């Protein structure tokens, strides 16, 4: 019996790891999007001058 609960625990750990990785990816995508927006805004400012 202990073996199945151990397996389940491993599976839960894997799921948690995956969720954490996905959150990191989403965060870096947001960061990238912010940088792109910033660059676009800076270009518009340069063009306005």
Domain boundaries, the chain: 22-49
- Tell me: the pLDDT tens digits for 4-17? 899 999 999 999 99
SS3 (DSSP) at 1: coil
Question: What pTM, to 2 d.p., does this model score?
Answer: 0.67
Residue carrying the six token digits 């990191």: 24
Q: What is the C-alpha to C-alpha distance for residues 2 and 18, in angstroms, rounded to an integer?
A: 24
Q: How many CA atoms lie within 13 A of 23 on its CB side?
A: 6
Tens digits of per-residue pLDDT, 29-43? 999 999 999 999 999
């Amino acid at each position: 019996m202990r073996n199945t609960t151990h397996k389940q625990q491993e599976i839960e750990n894997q799921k948690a790891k995956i969720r954490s990785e996905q959150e990191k990816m989403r965060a870096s995508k947001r960061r990238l999007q912010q940088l792109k927006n910033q660059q676009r805004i800076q270009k518009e400012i340069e063009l306005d001058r």
